[in-house]
Amino acid sequence: MQARPSAPLIPTLHVADIELPRELEALYELAYNLWWSWTPEARQLFASIDPRSWARYRNPVQLLINVEPKHWYALLEDEGFLRRYQRVVQELDDYLACRGGTWFARQQFEGQDGAPGQMGLSAYVSMEYGLHESLAIYSGGLGILSGDHCKSASDLGLPFVAVGLLYRRGYFQQTIDAEGIQQHIYPEYDFSRLPLRPIASATGRDVRVQVALPGRDVVVKLWLAQVGRVPLVLLDTDLPENDPSDRPITNQLYVRGREMRLVQEYVLGVGAAKALEAIGVTPAMWHINEGHSAFLQLERLRAMVATRIDVAQAEEQLQASTAFTTHTPVPAGNEQFDPGLVDKYAAAISEAAGLDRHRLQAWGRARPEDDSFNLTALAIRTASLTNGVSRLNAEVASEMWGHLFREKAPHATGEGAIGSATDSAQPIYPITNGIHTKSWLGMELRELFEDHLGRDWSALLLEADGLSQVDDIPDEALWRAHLAQKARLGAFTRSRLRHQLARHGKSPDELRAVDGWFDDRALTIGFARRFATYKRANLLFSDRDRLRALLTDPSRPVQILFAGKAHPADRPGQSLIRNIVELSHSERLTGSIHFLENYDMRMGRMLVQGTDVWLNTPRRPLEASGTSGMKAAANGALNLSILDGWWPEGFDGQNGWAIGGDGDSNLDDDAQDAADAAALYRLLEDEVLPGYYDQDAAGVPRAWVARMKHAIKTLTGAFSADRMVRDYVERAYVPCSGRRSQPSSVA
């Protein structure tokens, strides 16, 4: 059966105070579709309306609100602007109408026993979404992955809907004081000035649902963030009709308090099911992205039982139509709660779903001896398919959680099927993460791709050797494009550092000295990620004399850019930041090491597009995937990484460097750190620096550029979100869409 896109159409209310001339009224819909976030022509159109306002906000809704009515007169007489406007509006219209077809519409899926298969509407539920820096409902890798997943689902034309929480204060904004101490700021966002609209009912009123909490119901308002063809439904409890103590449930992402965290995740899971029911959307299958949203399963089960479906049959349908992705082997990443706390909030819904307290607690117990309720365990037990986000991550996760699969009765065959005897050794299968390439590729590299691969170059990401023509790009052209992106990173870096130092009270002369920082020709290493201790941001500083010699060689200068946030409750991670900031201020390293505060998506784009080398030093095997290195590789940066996460799959000996080995080690942490640090220094001294500075008379490092081309060819398509989403369709979405009535068993 031929697949057809069938994403739900969700009516919305207009909320922004925007006055547009009739001739330009399509700007409204353009501003409210985040398609503009990965479409340069759309961003250029908005920038041309008011360059200063765009540079300040990078948010078209805010920009349009601020435009004075008289400002439109000149634009209506600007033929160049009008042509650009018509071209972009037509491009969005063609995109939404799927003119030219989509990957999904061209597929012929195979179901069980070789019969034709089909994929119904897939619902994706995640705690955070990184779509654009103007919409601060993300903290890091999980959210960026979720946002990229939605964007590629849109590009490929999937029938797909996503659900998350709308945080009034988002994740914290980071500042670093003069002593290097991380400060946490939680601004309050005005939703009416963001690319968000309330979801409307048939009568024109905004849609709300209720989630039962002990002794009261909490009202949840539904908002829409339109991501190309994909609707993202966001849940908001900050409403006047709610008790003042309940309004902050959706205030902060990853709030520190454990009970409030549980309430957030309960509202996310239960609210997701209620929200889609309220707007008339019936998914064929559900994708739980990490355990945060696993309470979804209790509400889905309750709703089935309420329709008089037998409890056992309801459990079978629940499991058969669910896929679950686990992201991290780090204990802190697998949500655990006190069983009494879970009883407090989930007892009523569980009883309505036909579960007694005993059974509910058993579903959430990772091991018989545990005295906590684990959401990862709940998700695994109630899903038919569980995947990790890299091959190594799937192996590690299978070792962690394999005992749960042995509890289950066999109900399906094929790779990844729960209870299948053929995959009992590794019940969790890999679907390696990928990036939405259009969102992360620099402007100059994009133009090179269009010139040498064609305007539809992104369609090549799903083809084997699709980017082989990268070899035809002249070395000089690729190096020139890279240096242009690097120069932009330099200007950005100097501006950010000057702002940081001015806030610390530095003198005008000290601020002027920043103009001499960041040499566009110097080897530039980037390290940007969450500052958790297992990521070992300090590994590079293990031998400071050796590092100082590397950084201060006048014939081969090196500069290192650090960025990242530590969770407000993570004191060791914050201590790492402080140590790096202190070192960056030391007399002999000033100007060579920089810490850029308030890491967000814009800074992330700057870094991956402009650095020469992307450094990654986690303690193996704790890195689940590590998508920042994929973004850097697409831009021609060379990865210098521990063989953890995605890198064992990506590294081929010529597209970057591997720090240390990939075998099991009996070394303790201190000895392993020392061995990895020694390997890192050796690579920098013997291979990285000599390779970068081996430049010809034209200033082009030919062998280095050859590595860049090889990295782009071998990594960009293989680690794209288009490839990732295709794998989810074939290995999870189609199978789960066809299993709704197939027998299964929830352990």
* Domain 472-660+668-717 superfamily per CATH: Glycogen Phosphorylase B; (3.40.50.2000)
3-state SS record for 517-570 = CCCCCCEEEEEECCCCHHHCCCHHHCCHHHHHHHHCCCCCCEEEEEECCCCCCC
Task: Report the mean per-residue pLDDT for the chain.
Answer: 92
Mean pLDDT along residues 650-673 = 88
Q: Is the pLDDT of residue 418 over 70?
A: no
- The torsion angles phi and psi of 556, rounded to 5 degrees, stand at -140, 65
- Give the CATH superfamily of 122-434+726-737: Glycogen Phosphorylase B; (3.40.50.2000)
**CA gap 600, 594 in Å, rounded:** 16
Residue count of the chain, please give it.
747
pLDDT one-digit tens code per residue, 12-58: 887 777 889 999 999 999 999 999 999 999 999 999 999 999 999 99
Place of tokens 């991956």: 608
Highest mean pLDDT among 105-119, 323-337, 361-375: 361-375
Question: Residue 591 — very low, low, confident or very high, per pLDDT cuts 50/70/90?
Answer: confident
Look at 79-93, 157-171, 333-347, 583-597 and tell me which has the smallest mean pLDDT. Answer: 583-597
* Average pLDDT of span 371-388: 96
Residue-wise pLDDT tens digits, 715-742: 999 999 999 999 999 999 999 997 654 4
Share of the chain above pLDDT 70, in %: 94
pLDDT mean over 258-272: 98
For the cut 90, the answer to whether the pLDDT of residue 375 exceeds it is: yes
Angle ∠(722,650,608) on CA atoms, nearest 5: 70
> Distance (Å, rounded) from C-alpha 128 to C-alpha 137?
6
Confidence of residue 1 (pLDDT cuts 50, 70, 90): very low
Which helix (H) or strand (E) covers residue 726, if one does?
helix 721-728
Q: How confident is the model at residue 100 (pLDDT cuts 50, 70, 90)?
A: confident
Closest CA to 480 of 442, 515, 450: 442
User: Between these two residues, 286 and 425, which has the higher pLDDT value?
Assistant: 286
Residue 408 — very low, low, confident or very high, per pLDDT cuts 50/70/90?
Answer: low
Residue 505, judged by CB atoms within 10 A of its CB (0-12, 13-18, 19+), counts as exposed
Residues of the chain with CATH 3.40.50.2000: 122-434+726-737, 472-660+668-717
Residues pairing with 289 in the sheet: 325
pLDDT value at 419 more than 70: no
pLDDT-based confidence at 421, cuts 50/70/90?
A: very low
